[in-house]
Amino acid sequence: MKLNSLTFFACLMILLSAASCSKKERIELETITVGFGEVCESVTSTGTLESVTQVDVGTQVTGIISKLYADYNSVVKAGDLIAEIDKTTLESELKAADANLESAKLTYEYTKKNYERDLALHDKQLISDYEFDTTRKDYLIAKSSYEKSKSDRVKAARNLSYAEIYAPIDGIVISREVEVGQTVVSNMSVANLFTIADLNNMQVVADVDEADIGSVKVGQNATFTVDAYPNDVFSGKVTQVRINPTTTSNVVTYEVLIDAANPDMKLIPGLTANITINTKEARNVLTIPLKALKFMPQEFEGADNLPSFDEMPTPPHGAPAHAESDKPKDPAIPTDDPHRLVWVLSDGKLKPTEIELGIDNGIDVVVVNGLREGDVVAQNYTSAMPQEAQQQGGGESNPFMPKPPQRKSNKK
């Protein structure tokens, strides 16, 4: 009877041990298959839309607006008549200038004949020097007066032409500052009547933070959205990076100009744009996750399902080894040397492979050399509970994560 009890106890322990082992976590290797993708790094900013060409149309003469041929949103062509100033006063000034010119011309011609006659007489010593000098003086004064009268006539004619105001560019009238009957006064500055903008050529003036301006270059692609059309994404290119800083509340920004095509005329001056500038771009290239660069194969007790691996070779090109103490704090490339090691799964075995890296965006990195499409690269270890344990509430976990503390039972 005693022997049977011992046998039963031994069988019970074996069953409990088997049940415990069946719930033991299973370590698995997480891999990634190398494929083609894109890597982009961007800078975000806000800015304001402006037209590349915008002209304030004014007048250089004083007068009363008699006619307006354009209003807000009027589409105009270069040379179109858009306004007129009353010409009565200007036409009178032109007629007075014509009369003065004719009078000055007659005086000039008369004094010129006298001068030529007295010059001949003076050469023959038939008149005194005083008489000749007086005649020459009258001639020179008349000549100057005649030249001045011609200039006054040109000015009066030009002022009359300024009474008709024409559009200087093709565009749309975005501002009208006058009404019919209003007097415009030209003093030291030109009186502004209209503002015409060419909406076919728009640009975004973006305010880029000083921390990001170093990566923004002319020619980089950019996209932006505006609140007026939240579902539309507009594209452009960086055309200028201005080095003149602007400081607002101790925040330093720099202006970056981005051209913006506007075929549908949706973009108008003054809209606020939310901008994304692609500072790094690589498309249709081989990529792997950056965390694959930190992977180091390890051995786990009882993990017969894991592939074997070779010994760690000498770090390539002086790159730091992947030892735990040498791991970089940032998952990105820790040195300027683009050559690194990854572990490729081939024929059931992990093999260290030297690769050359390109640009990265903090998540993925471009592989320039060393890997081919379809290669399987190790990137992490994970632990998974058996299917029976998962049905009881178990699941996958990281073998390197700390276990949660055990709760104390209230049962006595």
Per DSSP, helices labelled H in 124-213 are: 129-161
Rounded to an integer, what distance in angstroms lies between the CA atom of residue 366 and that of residue 357? 6
- What amino acid occupies position 151? S
Q: State the average pLDDT over residues 114-130.
A: 91
Tell me what pLDDT residue 340 has.
Answer: 85
Contacts (Cβ under 8 Å, ≥6 apart) of 304: none
- What amino acid occupies position 56? D
Q: How confident is the model at residue 28 (pLDDT cuts 50, 70, 90)?
A: confident
Q: 0.75 exceeded by the pTM?
A: no
Rounded to an integer, what distance in angstroms lies between the CA atom of residue 247 and that of residue 162? 42
Of residues 336 and 355, which shows the higher confidence score? 355
Q: State the average pLDDT over residues 29-53.
A: 89
Strand partners, 202: 51, 260
Q: How confident is the model at residue 407 (pLDDT cuts 50, 70, 90)?
A: very low
Tell me what pLDDT residue 39 has.
Answer: 83
pLDDT > 90? residue 301: no
pLDDT digits (tens, 9 = 90+) for 219-274: 999 999 999 999 999 999 999 999 999 999 999 999 999 999 898 899 999 999 99
Tokens of 140: 């020179």
Strand partners, 369: 356
11-20, 239-248, 354-363, 385-394: range with highest mean pLDDT: 239-248
Instruction: Give CA separation, 57 vs 157, 165, 192, 331, 411, in Å.
Output: 20, 8, 6, 58, 90
% of the chain at pLDDT higher than 70: 78
pLDDT digits (tens, 9 = 90+) for 55-81: 999 888 889 999 999 999 999 999 999
Secondary structure string (H, E, C) spanning 85-129: ECCHHHHHHHHHHHHHHHHHHHHHHHHHHHHHHHHHHHHCCCCCH
Of residues 64 and 186, which shows the higher confidence score? 64
Per DSSP, helices labelled H in 276-401 are: 387-391
Crossing angle (nearest 10°) for helices 88-123 and 129-161: 160
pLDDT > 60? residue 321: no
Phi and psi at residue 211, to the nearest 5°: -70, -20
Rounded to an integer, what distance in angstroms lies between the CA atom of residue 64 and that of residue 163? 10
- What amino acid occupies position 369? N
Q: What angle do CA 67, 72, 73 make, to 5 degrees?
A: 125
The per-residue DSSP string of 355-385 comes to: EEEEEE-SSEEEEEES--TT-EEEEEEEEE-
Tokens of 266: 């949706």
Contacts (Cβ under 8 Å, ≥6 apart) of 6: none
Q: How confident is the model at residue 131 (pLDDT cuts 50, 70, 90)?
A: very high
Tell me what pLDDT residue 337 has.
Answer: 66
Instruction: Give CA separation, 230 vs 51, 162, 226, 266, 329, in Å.
Output: 21, 45, 6, 12, 39
- Residue whose tokens read 């820790």: 334
Instruction: Give CA separation, 362 vs 160, 381, 410, in Å.
Output: 67, 21, 48
Contacts (Cβ under 8 Å, ≥6 apart) of 234: 223, 224, 225, 226, 260, 261, 267, 273
Q: What is the DSSP letter of 187?
A: S
Contact 41, 359 (CB under 8 A): yes
Coil, strand or helix at 80? coil
pLDDT > 50? residue 319: no
